[in-house]
Amino acid sequence: MQCDFTQKKSLTSPLAAPIFSAALSALTLQQVDPLTATLHYCRDILSFGFDKPSISDFTGPNGEPFTTSPEVRAAVKRLIGSQGSVLVQRVLTGMMFSFPGDCFPDASGVLLSLFELMPREAATWVEATIQMLPPGTLKSGESDRLMKNLTEKVQSGEIRKTRALLQDFTNSYRRRNVAPREGLGRLEAARFRFNG
């Protein structure tokens, strides 16, 4: 019962949006521990947009598996609807430019959860983020291929495959554009600017 009360109070609170916004700001850090904690927080928030959240191993007061109330699911969808674009920008650009390798599984997990929760919106946010990349850093037709493949996976219900597509894209981009110049795959904050 306590789990239900806590997530309901926090996710339907007027503070949910500013807290989530603060988490999005933390995604610009380059240290493993704070990034991992923030990515876990984002995944947890996203999981409450589904019937069975990440805490679904717990049982409710009636002994049945815990489920998320419709009110909380709607609150999560509103929150992600308003800040999903920034979340995708921070996660994708982090994977391409600055996230340490240890953060990739959690980062791609956030993107997968977004595609599972709001597939069409997530595809739109990914496309908008890719269009913000510096000119000349993508191969001809690369973004079109990625978006075509993402759209196909969404339309065919193969949402889980979007994770591999995005991981492959970000790894390829990072190898071509970041690692050769920086040696260790790090990027100066001033080199690329994303408004968002």
What tens digit of pLDDT does each residue of 35-71 get?
Answer: 999 999 999 999 999 988 776 556 666 777 778 889 9
Closest CA to 119 of 73, 88, 75, 86: 88
Please give the model's pTM, rounded to 2 decimal places.
Answer: 0.84
Q: What distance separates the 2 farthest-apart alpha carbons in the chain?
A: 58
Residues 6 or more apart in contact with residue 185 via CB below 8 angstroms? 101, 174, 178, 179
Nearest one of 103, 196, 96, 186 to 137, comparing CA atoms? 96
* Calpha distance 46→133 (Å, rounded): 26
> Tens of pLDDT along 128-187?
999 999 888 888 899 999 999 999 999 999 999 999 999 999 999 998 887 655 444 444
